[in-house]
A and B are shown apart, each in its own frame.
Chain A
Amino acid sequence: MIKKTLSIVGIVVVAVYILLTAFVAVDVTETVVITQFGKPVRVVTEPGLTVKWPDPLQTVIRLDKRLQPLESNVSEFLTQDKKNLVMSNFILWRIVDATRFIQSVKGVTSAERRLSELVASELGMTIGTYSLSSFLTTDEGGTKIPEICDKVTKTSREYALREFGIEVMGVRLRRLSFPEQNLRSVYARMSAERERMAKKYRAEGEEKAAKIRAETDKEVREILAVAYRESQVTRGRGDAESIRIYAEAFEHDPDFFKLTRTLDAYRKCLDEKTTLILSADSPFFQFLECPPGGH
């Protein structure tokens, strides 16, 4: 009775053990490598349930196959025209060949280290063939940074795939700058450039203002000159008209005109300050000494 119970319990324990270790749930995020006494025999990339011989005949190694970002350290690179650039980058990678990965790099930490070294050397080599103006430019063609990154991605992808079973999905810039010791001179250059621009703006402002003022002066004088000319013409026309009118009227009798005009002139010119020396035989005194009819 007890023997029977014990054997049933034993069978159940063994069955549960086999069930638990013979069935493997492969997650959507992982690749499972089944090893037989340490030697990889099968790689399962399809998520879901899979069967293997129970432990310890076959064991599983789970690897995360998702995309992962790796930050590289900041380092200095020399461009083709011998300029120093400080750069650091991201490497986006994932495991595609699990067997190779396990055999070549063992763990993620060492994979990251070797990947960093690989990308850094590829980057150094590629940057050496480009000039600084390929990175920084305001020209039509634009910057060559994406091109450089793609180039590095391509070469390191081939190598990493072959050697580590890793697919490099992208090498992307995280930092692009000048070395620390150059920054001071960069700031100084920036300030100098700005100061030059400020001066230019002020000078341009003064120039434009002066131009506006000069133009205004010119226009004002033009306006006044034209008005002066027109007013003189108008006055002249008036004068001419009046002269014509006078002449027309006085033409009728020049003698009478002379008489009236002269008398008018006398009235105007001879005033209190005038001392008139009259000759006694002037026509005015005609009757003074010899009355009419008395001679």
Chain B
Amino acid sequence: MEETKSDLQRVFRHAKLVGILLMILLAVLYLASGCYSVKPEQRGVVKRFGRVVNDNVLPGIHYHWPWPIESVLRARTTEIRSLSISFGSQKGSEGQTAEASGSYGEVVVNTEEDPEKDVPIWAQETDRFVPVVSSELEEGQAAELLTGDENLVLATLLIQYTIKQPKSYLYNAIDTGKVLNCIVQDATISKIAEMSVDDVLTTGRFEIQMKLKEQIQTRADSYDLGIRFTSVQIQNIQPPAEAAEAFREVASAREDQHRLMQQAEGDRNRRLPEARANANKLRNEAAAYAKEVVEMAHGEAERFLMGWDEYRKAKTVTAHRLYMEAMEEILPRVRKLVSDPEAEGPTPFPQNELPP
């Protein structure tokens, strides 16, 4: 009986020791659950009983009081997020457009690769207000846009942004993605509504992007969303399918206009040098002619004067000689009829020797 009691006492003492050890272990584990890490691309926000006590925890290993006293949320601040919004169905079907205009693209959360989830179980967020934070492209669908001159256009915008203020981003709106969507849609509708369809489709693209970025940044700041827009891009902007043919026709007409003018211009560039060449030829020919006649005149004059010099010395003889020489040259090749001036009647012509 005595032995049994002491045995029991021994066992009980051991159990007590084990119990105390277990308690200490549990307490240590509980306290250790306050360790958490913030990755280089993240910033942490620590809440104590729901109140934000530190809204910019830098990357590294940190400690917070364990649940339920403190909790931490991390946001990837360096990452550039994308939001794509399509205005109007790109296929251009009316029914689809009407249906699609009411819905939003789902916010895709890839649970496997989401770095937020890639932390040890003891460091995971347990807050019930976990906002959807995603690196995936968010997509929104909206209705087609009306331009200032009452034309419809379809467009796709790609908006990129980063988190400027983690606390504001995480806690100021229930669905930040949807609020962004709202801001962008309103700004786009307003901007397009004061531009002509030609400007929208051609030269206005840059202006739209610039103005939109300015406008949505102002709006986002006024709602304190903690977001900074890095770029607004019009990825695609086009007329609806029902009128696309006519728009293409205008483009081809513009090309035709250009082509016609180019042809005329080309023609001009060919004909003007040709005309100048002809003009030059005319001038040169005239100059050559003038030179020719003057030189000829000089030559002949010189020749005449030289002959005359000699002629002067013996006028009668030379004149007679010149006359005779000429006769000698001419008479052998012509047909000759010699008539007697004293004979009566016409000189008889040898009929068969007349020229035809």
Q: Does B190 contact A (CB under 8 A)?
A: yes
0/1 string, A259-295, CB within 8 A of B gives 1: 1100100110011111111111100110000000000
Query: Which of B56-64, B174-182, B228-236 faces chain A?
Result: B174-182
Is A190 interfacial (CB 8 A cutoff)? yes
**Contacts A186-B152, A259-B323, A267-B329; is A66 near B293 (CB within 8 Å)?**
no
In the bound complex, do residue A216 and residue B287 qualify as a contact, i.e. CB atoms below 8 Å apart?
no
Within the complex, which residue of B150, B179, B304 is in contact with A69, where a contact is CB–CB below 8 Å?
B179
Q: In the complex, which residues of chain B have a beta carbon less than 8 angstroms from the beta carbon of A145?
A: 189-190, 193
B258 to A205, Cβ gap below 8 A?
yes
| B residues near A175, Cβ cutoff 8 Å | 101, 142-143, 185, 189
C-alpha gap A74/B143 in the complex (Å)? 11
Interface residues on B, range: 35 or more
State which of B24-32, B117-125, B338-346 sits at the interface with chain A. B338-346
> What's the Cα separation between A119 and B245 when bound, in Å?
40
The residue in chain B whose Cβ has the minimal distance to the Cβ of A85 is B146
> Looking across the interface, which residue of chain A has its beta carbon closest to that of B92?
A187
Q: Say yes or no: B195 contacts A138, CB within 8 Å.
A: yes
Q: Which B260-293 residues sit within 8 Å CB-CB of chain A?
A: 260-261, 263-265, 267-268, 271-272, 274-276, 278-280, 282-283, 285-287, 289-293
- B183 x A172 contact (CB < 8 A): yes
Question: Which secondary structure characterizes the binding site on chain B?
Answer: helix
What A residues does B274 contact at CB under 8 A?
220
The residues of B that contact A206 with a CB separation of less than 8 Å are 260
For A272, give the chain B residue with the smallest CB separation: B333
* B185 contacts A220, C-beta separation under 8 Å: no
Q: Which of B145, B254, B279 has the most CB of A within 10 A?
A: B279
Q: How far is the CA of A272 from the CA of B296 in the complex (A)?
A: 28
Q: Can you give 8 A-B contacts (C-beta < 8 A)?
A: A48-B49, A172-B182, A175-B185, A231-B287, A253-B308, A263-B322, A274-B334, A275-B353
Residues of chain A whose beta carbon lies under 8 Å from any beta carbon of chain B: 25-30, 46-49, 64, 66-69, 71, 73-74, 88, 90, 92, 135-139, 142-143, 145-146, 149, 169-170, 172-178, 180, 183-184, 186-187, 189-195, 197-199, 201-202, 204-206, 208-210, 212-213, 215-216, 219-220, 223-224, 226-228, 230-235, 237-239, 241-243, 245-246, 248-250, 252-253, 256-257, 259-260, 263, 266-267, 270-281, 284-285
Residues in chain B within 8 A of chain A (CB atoms) = 47-52, 68, 94, 98, 101-102, 127, 129, 142-152, 167, 171-175, 178-179, 181-183, 185-186, 189-190, 193-197, 219, 223, 239-240, 242-243, 245-247, 249-250, 252-254, 256-261, 263-265, 267-268, 271-272, 274-276, 278-280, 282-283, 285-287, 289-294, 296-298, 300-302, 304-305, 307-308, 311-312, 319, 322-323, 326-327, 329-331, 333-341, 347, 353-355
